Every structure is written in C-alpha cells, then in structure tokens.
C-alpha cells in the first residue's frame, strides 16, 4: 500500500555472539571500493550511520563519544605532543580532537581507502572537514607499509580502528604490528589502541595486551562506551614507551566536549573487577 511504512533494518553482529539492530529510514549511499563495501544509512535512533564491510564504523549520535574517548585520555596528559600519527581515521573525527591541542604541529593520517575519506566528506562533514587543516598530512596507504618506510618518529600514535588489525590490510595479520609501531615512537611516546569488546572477545583482547606488553614498559587500559558498537563497551590500551604522565593539562575548551572531561581521567582507568578478570589484569 502507498502509505505502508518501510521496514528496513541494519544488523551488525560481533563475533556472532551479540549485535546491534537499527531501524533505517533509507540508504543514502552504497558503493564498493577496492577494499570494502561502504554504505551510509539514515537511521531512526542514531542519525546517519557509516558501515564498512557491513560493520558499523560511526554514527551521528556517538562519533564524538568515540573520538574524544580515543584522544583526550592521552593527549591531555602529554607534556608536549608536536607530531601525532593516526592510523585509519578516514572519517576525520579523531583528527578533529587532536587538532584542539595548540602544541600539535603536524597530524599524519594514514588511511588505506580513499573512498572512505570521500564518503565522509559528503555525509559527515563535521568530522571530515578537519582533514583539510594545514597541520594535517593525509596519506592514502597501507598503515603497516607506511610505518615500515616512514623516516619519522611520533610523540603519539593512535589506532583509529575497532581493533589493532584492519581487515582492509592483510599485512597486519602476518607481521608484528607492535614491533613496527614501537620503532616509530619517540622516547616517552604513547600508543593508543582499541582492543575490542572485553565481554565477547576476551581471548583477542588478552592476546593483544600480551603482545603490547612485550614492547611497552607500561600498559594502561580503560573502557569507552559507544552505543552503536556491538557489545556497547570497548577496551582501549594505552602503551607508554618510558615515563608514565598523569597530570591533566586543563584547557578552556574542555568545557565544550561532549564526553570526556578532566574529572573523568583518574576514574577512567579504574576498571570494574569483571573487566579486569576478562582482560587478565591483576590488581590489588
């Protein structure tokens, strides 16, 4: 019938154990790049939703929650982070948050799929527009190859992906990513890397933490809550190559953030007991 409502749904499953199901209004974009299928939907609950290979990558409702949670727990305590590397990040949200820091002189974004950048510039301009900032160097390349060949070292390296491995790049699965990253960090440099959902990918999270612990003198872990991600909560590892900074460098614009704030910093790294057990973290 002409007045019958459309009944379109998007389902994103995580490890075939748990998932998110969103009712959609319409499909705004659908294409296939050399690496993956890219789609943008208009959803009732989360606004515009970007999917890569069928998995939710970001949405209007929680893009800022993800980006702030990935950036500020680390950048806010760095005495001076002049050079930042973002691996992934074609949507630009994490770059936007990094650029808030006046000490940052250059942000290098390494995204393997140019089509992701183009789609996000059209449908998620609040995030993607920052990729045109004069401090940003956008590199379309495989992240592992870039790290292998890059002559520079960085104060902070941020993995802007749901896990350390990126399905768009086969080399992540055959070469030690932690080894490559470690060589590209300056002394006292820091790595930020999402581990996955500790409740439904326990073994993967533990394996990545063990690999990082082989290279970094200190590993902190915290949780971020992202409603559109299957499982809801994701663990993030922060690896420090040297001294562990702690004091937050308060900024006037902290009041404008939607999620993170300085008062949250200390509590962020106090994990619930069941999460510590899932990740194999021993505490008093």
Kindly name the residue from 60, 142, 160, 220 that is annotated as catalytic.
Answer: 160
E strands, the chain, in order: 8-14, 18-32, 37-43, 47-52, 55-59, 83-88, 106-111, 136-140, 154-160, 185-196, 218-225, 233-240
Burial string for 218-251 (b: 16+ CB within 10 Å, else e) reads ebbbbbbebebbbbbebbbbbbbbeeeeeebeeb
**Secondary structure tally for the chain: helices H, strands E:** 9, 12
Helices (H), 5-76: 63-75
CB 207 within 8 A of CB 176: no
Q: Do 23 and 8 touch, CB atoms closer than 8 A?
A: yes
Specify whether 160 is catalytic: yes
Instruction: List Cβ neighbours of 114 (8 Å cut-off, separation of 6 or more).
Output: 33, 90, 140
- If one counts every other C-beta atom within 10 angstroms of the C-beta of residue 59, the result is 25
Q: How many CB atoms lie within 10 A of CB 47?
A: 16
The residues that are catalytic are 160
């Amino acid at each position: 019938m002409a007045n019958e409502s459309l009944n379109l749904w998007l389902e994103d499953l995580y490890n075939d154990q748990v998932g998110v199901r969103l009712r959609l209004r319409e499909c705004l974009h659908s294409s296939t790049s050399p690496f993956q299928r890219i789609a943008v939907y208009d959803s009732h609950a989360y606004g515009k939703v970007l999917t890569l290979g069928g998995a939710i990558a970001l949405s209007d409702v929680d893009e800022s929650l993800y980006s702030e949670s990935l950036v500020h727990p680390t950048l806010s305590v760095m005495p001076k982070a002049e050079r930042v590397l973002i691996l992934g990040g074609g949507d630009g949200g994490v770059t936007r948050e990094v650029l808030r820091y006046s000490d940052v002189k250059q942000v290098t974004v390494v995204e393997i799929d140019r089509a992701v950048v183009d789609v996000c510039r059209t449908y998620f301009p609040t995030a993607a527009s920052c990729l045109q900032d004069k401090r940003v160097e956008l590199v379309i390349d495989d992240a592992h190859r870039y790290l292998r060949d890059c002559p520079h070292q960085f104060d902070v390296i941020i993995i802007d992906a749901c896990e350390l491995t990126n399905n768009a790049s086969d080399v992540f699965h055959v070469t030690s990513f932690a080894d490559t990253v470690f060589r590209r960090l300056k002394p006292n440099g820091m790595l930020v890397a999402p581990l996955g959902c500790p409740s439904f990918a326990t073994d993967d999270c533990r394996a990545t933490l063990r690999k990082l612990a082989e290279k970094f003198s200190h590993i902190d872990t915290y949780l971020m809550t992202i409603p559109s991600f299957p499982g809801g909560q994701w663990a993030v590892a922060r690896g420090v190559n040297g001294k562990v900074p702690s004091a937050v460098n308060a900024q006037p614009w902290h009041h404008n953030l939607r999620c993170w704030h300085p008062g949250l910093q200390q509590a962020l790294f106090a994990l619930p007991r069941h999460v510590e057990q899932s990740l194999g973290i021993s505490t008093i």
